[in-house]
Amino acid sequence: MRFIDPNHDRWHAANDDNDPTPLPDPRANRLLSLEQWHAVRAAWPLGLPAGVIVPNDVDIESLEADLPRLALVALQFPRWVDGRAYSQARLLRARLRYRGEVRATGEVLVDMLPLLHRTGFDSVQLRGDQSLVSAQRALRFFAEHYQGDVHRPQPLFARAAA
């Protein structure tokens, strides 16, 4: 699991509040809102890395055709108690076979990290008050899980039988 420092992130959001440009110009490592991506995807150069920020109430399967062109899908946790982005990540990895970066953003707490990892996230941007040391320790709490996940789909009893 990679931990993202927002001050040193290689991905840059397009059209922040100080940018008057209506649509982002194509540049490598642009992080676009879903609306921006839909507006520019037809003109976005093939092979130019793009990322998209996906709200947690969007049907993630609606991005299926675009996934080969996206290097990053940032899933949002607007509140730490709202877990819909876990389902989005699992669908991206298990059903849609997305191999790019899946990032957790928003209200991401240390306690969420084991499940984030198990559902397919490979990078996180922790909420500002969370400790990186505690986050790294949280990923080592459990050596194994009984249920299957995106990394090891078989449950423990099936792995033991094999």
pLDDT in tens, 119-142: 999 999 999 999 999 999 998 887
What is the pTM assigned to this prediction? 0.87
Tens of pLDDT, residues 36-64: 999 999 999 998 989 999 999 999 999 99
* Inter-residue contact 14 to 32 (CB < 8 Å): yes
CA dist., res. 94 & res. 150, Å (int)? 6
Burial 14-35 (b: 16+ CB within 10 A, else e): bbeeeeeeeebeeeeebbbbee
Distance CA 135, CA 97 (A): 27
